[in-house]
Amino acid sequence: MRVISRLVFVCAVYFSALLCAADRPNIVLLMGDDHGWDETGYNGHPYLKTPVLDEMARTGLRLDRFYSGGSSCSPTRATIITGRHHHRAGTFSPGWSTRPEEIGIARLLRDAGYATGHFGKWHLGPVKAASPTNPGALGFDEWHSHDNFFELDPHLSRNGAPPQVVKGESSAIVIADAVAFIDKAKRAGKPFFVVVWFGSPHEPYQALPADLALYDQLPANFGNKEVQLTSNETGKNTRRRQRDVLRERFAEITAMDRAIGTLRTHLRGAGMRDNTLVWYCGDNGTPPEAVATVPFRAQKGSIYEGGIRVPGLIEWPAKIPRPRATDVNAVTTDMLPTLCALVGAPLPRRPLDGINLGPLLEGKMTARPEPICFWETPVARAPGAQPYIDPELQKGTSHHAKLGPDGTPTRNFQNFRHPAVRPEDFAGSRAIVDNRFKLVLDAGSRRGGEASRELFDLRADPAEKNNIIAAHPAEAERLAARLRAWQQSVLESLTGADYR
């Protein structure tokens, strides 16, 4: 009798899990590398052709005030994986790894029964098998990934093996990987969580002839200046006419857009389109060599809007059946708590910086309940700090066109212990964005040794042209106090307190 009862219980749990799996959405996170807010047709670009993203904007949820959690690539990727500001794990800048103790969204969804796969750029540590911060260590069942960015014919590592050259256009390659993984998960009867982080449109630029031909007729007066970027031929810096550079960049964006279309078409054909949540965004603002149509202040690397405002789109026909646009502020740290809420997965017991956007998806959120904080700090490590991870384990293996300072085509990573919070650790460019106002500290010039302080009304002045701090001193003080308290929490995390 006990055996029969046990069998009945096991079967009940099994079939309950199957029913839950059928109700839960499949999830695909897509991200362009250095893809700025203005570089889409739906946001009004005069020349770029992005028909797929434009269709998603017309049929899904358009996030008009979507932010990257960092102003550059590794930091933003850390915010997506952890739901936390990147400083909490010491991911200060590109090439700074995350830490092995971080609890990632892939691990949480895998524990909830999802098949988890990562394809494309990783940049949170080496992708090799020995790395304690490779995609597998952070919860992905499978990965076909690169340490950093890549162009045509990329070097990719499959599940930590030595990288191999894969011939073809890079966005098409990583989408093909994603499609194969999705089909495998479907055959296994499991919901899937797929992350595709494209290598495009990060410089140096390479594109197929057919895509380049789309931009042969850019106006002669468009981009009529010289810019600096990496040479595909030498791997070193070179200077070229911006118009020629943008022709190649636009071609990469169009190829990435087409690859996203391939994925959407496959989901439809496989009968999975309705209950698959597809979320697209960029990882930071437009880089310096590509700034031509940016309507905001500054560029990649800055906490002004031009460095952190990015394209944001969510498509989920089963739950977002009619097109909508929202001006509610949202950020990449929101992805983890939102997805956990959708699938019923518990949140990590540690400070998170994102919020659950479920009410926004349902059309019930009209204002963000918590402000968003940004911080780019020059204090990357304290004097004499010890490496957090063995430097040998931090050495990259996948080649790209850009040569490093030592002349090699690979990138190594770093992360350091920070045992105590010091007064000087609070320095750096930082900002806090509320529903209307944005306070920016230390991003501009200093006068008489004092930190710069700027307050902007983003609703009236999205280009951040008018500093209105003199007219709203109480608002500035309120936001400054909130920002300082948040910094204290982040620095306590940086000491490793969350892991104890």
Contact 430, 465 (CB under 8 A): no
Q: Give the CB-side neighbour count of residue 329, counting CA atoms within 13 A.
A: 26
According to the model, what pLDDT value does residue 438 have? Answer: 98
**pLDDT grade, residue 10 (50/70/90)?**
very low
According to the model, what pLDDT value does residue 4 have? Answer: 35
Residue-wise pLDDT tens digits, 26-53: 999 999 999 999 999 999 999 999 999 9
Instruction: Report the number of secondary-structure helices (H) and strands (E) in the chain.
Output: 11, 18
Q: Which helix (H) or strand (E) holds 240?
A: strand 237-241
Please check the confidence at residue 373 and state whether its pLDDT lies above 60. yes
According to the model, what pLDDT value does residue 3 have? Answer: 36
Please check the confidence at residue 337 and state whether its pLDDT lies above 80. yes
Please check the confidence at residue 67 and state whether its pLDDT lies above 90. yes
Residues in the chain: 500
Q: What is the mean pLDDT of the chain?
A: 93
Q: What percent of the chain has pLDDT over 70?
A: 94
According to the model, what pLDDT value does residue 17 have? Answer: 40
Helix, strand or coil for residue 173? Answer: helix
Phi-psi region at 171: left, alpha or beta (left = phi > 0; alpha = psi -120 to 50) = alpha
According to the model, what pLDDT value does residue 328 have? Answer: 98
> Is 0.75 topped by the overall pTM?
yes
Structure tokens at 246: 């943008």
Q: Which helix (H) or strand (E) holds 359?
A: helix 358-361
How many angstroms separate the CA atoms of 14 and 69, rounded?
Answer: 38
Give the amino acid at 425.
Answer: D
How many angstroms separate the CA atoms of 500 and 196, rounded?
Answer: 32
**Mean pLDDT (whole number) for 323-334:** 98
Contact 256, 151 (CB under 8 A): no
Q: Which candidate, 131, 74, 143, places its Cα nearest to that of 106?
A: 143
Comma-separated ranges of CATH 3.40.720.10 domains in the chain: 26-374
User: Which fold is adopted by the domain 26-374?
Assistant: Alkaline Phosphatase, subunit A (3.40.720)
Please check the confidence at residue 20 and state whether its pLDDT lies above 80. no
Residue-wise pLDDT tens digits, 399-426: 999 998 888 999 999 999 999 999 999 9
- DSSP 8-state secondary structure symbol assigned to residue 152: S
Residue-wise pLDDT tens digits, 171-196: 999 999 999 999 999 999 999 999 99
According to the model, what pLDDT value does residue 379 have? Answer: 62
Cα torsion angle, 329, 332, 337, 343, sign: positive
How many angstroms separate the CA atoms of 145 and 142, rounded?
Answer: 10
Please check the confidence at residue 6 and state whether its pLDDT lies above 70. no
**pLDDT grade, residue 480 (50/70/90)?**
very high
How many angstroms separate the CA atoms of 294 and 283, rounded?
Answer: 16
For 57-141, where are the E strands, in sequence order?
Answer: 61-63, 66-67, 115-121
**Mean pLDDT (whole number) for 247-258:** 98
Residue-wise pLDDT tens digits, 437-466: 999 998 764 444 457 999 999 999 999 999
- DSSP 8-state secondary structure symbol assigned to residue 96: B
According to the model, what pLDDT value does residue 11 have? Answer: 38
Cross-strand pairs, 62: 313, 325
Task: Tell me the backbone φ, ψ of residue 245, rounded to 5 degrees.
Answer: -65, -45
How far from chain centre, in Å, is Cα 30? Answer: 8
Comma-separated ranges of CATH 3.30.1120.10 domains in the chain: 379-385+415-499
Contact 408, 396 (CB under 8 A): no
Q: Give the CB-side neighbour count of residue 401, counting CA atoms within 13 A.
A: 22
According to the model, what pLDDT value does residue 13 have? Answer: 35
- Taking the chain, what is the end-to-end CA distance rounded to the nearest angstrom? 45
Count of other CB atoms within 10 angstroms of residue 414? 18
How many angstroms separate the CA atoms of 108 and 111, rounded?
Answer: 5
How many angstroms separate the CA atoms of 88 and 496, rounded?
Answer: 8
CATH classification code of 379-385+415-499:
3.30.1120.10
